[in-house]
Amino acid sequence: MSQTDARRRLLFAFSPVALVAICASIQITAGRYVGVWAWVPTMLGFWLAIAFLLHKYPGSRPRQRFQRASGSRFWSILALLAGLLSLHGFLGNWTLLANTQLIAAWLVFALVNPWFEESYWRGLLIDSTASWGKFASLLYSSAWFAVSHPLIWGIHSLPLRKPEAVGALLFVGLIWGLAYQRTGSLRWCVAGHMLANLLGLAALVLLNIYDPTIR
């Protein structure tokens, strides 16, 4: 790797600072007009920013990150199982999906967002910090994934400000990051993330309709 590429990768490694700042600004500004629904324009900005970073990343290989998983199937299965941790909460609260608008928001967010989040938090961040060592890279990407939620979405979402929520996000982030490191693929990380967002009623959490930390 050339020194120029190494420097560029370092810049991408610290890109979460800019990403969080930009999205938090959108969230605050949009919140003045649409309240808790500010997550919608913020999410669009979030996706656009990630798409830009993926396109500009040195030796950009977004599609290669979704190649067939290699190594033991254990890691792929574990990535999928992480998404089932919210099943109990879903079974007890699915009736909160009370109208078409909420159902549409729930489905679109759950099925689209994981592609962007996994491509960035796991794919780009772990790849750009690979020279730090596997453990440091894994911890760094997972920590940013966890704290980005209260820093961005927690501006309006009360549940995402709670330590329990951040801890749970760190836990699943570590699992998905480890799965990516061991298999070289984000396929099952995305699948697990979709399950987590569907069963965790993620859109309702953003709207303060559902709090998964309350049992």
Range in 5-9, 125-129, 139-143, 191-195 the model is least confident about? 5-9
What are 179's two structure tokens? 């799965």
When the pLDDT of each residue in the chain is averaged and rounded to a whole number, the result is 94
Under DSSP, the state recorded for 211 is -
Among 15-19, 61-65, 174-178, whose mean pLDDT is lowest? 61-65
pLDDT higher than threshold 90 for residue 1: no
Quick one: pLDDT band at residue 102, thresholds 50, 70, 90? Answer: very high
pLDDT at 126: 96
Rounded Cα distance, 53 and 60, in Å: 9
Per-residue confidence (pLDDT) for residue 57, from 0 to 100: 86
Q: What pLDDT does 44 receive? A: 98
SS (H, E, C) 38-66: HHHHHHHHHHHHHHHHHHHCCCCCCHHHH
Tokens of 91: 């079974």
pTM reported for the whole predicted model: 0.94
- Determine the Cα–Cα distance for residues 3 and 17; give it in Å rounded to an integer: 23
Model confidence pLDDT, tens digit, residues 66-98 = 888 888 899 999 999 999 999 999 999 999 999
Would you state the pLDDT for residue 8? 80
Give the pLDDT confidence of 17-60 residue by residue, as tens digits.
Answer: 999 999 999 999 999 999 999 999 999 999 999 999 999 887 76
User: Which whole number is the average pLDDT over 108-119?
Assistant: 97
- Please give the pLDDT value at position 196: 98
Cα gap 110→151, rounded to integer Å:
20
5 confidence band (pLDDT: 50, 70, 90): low
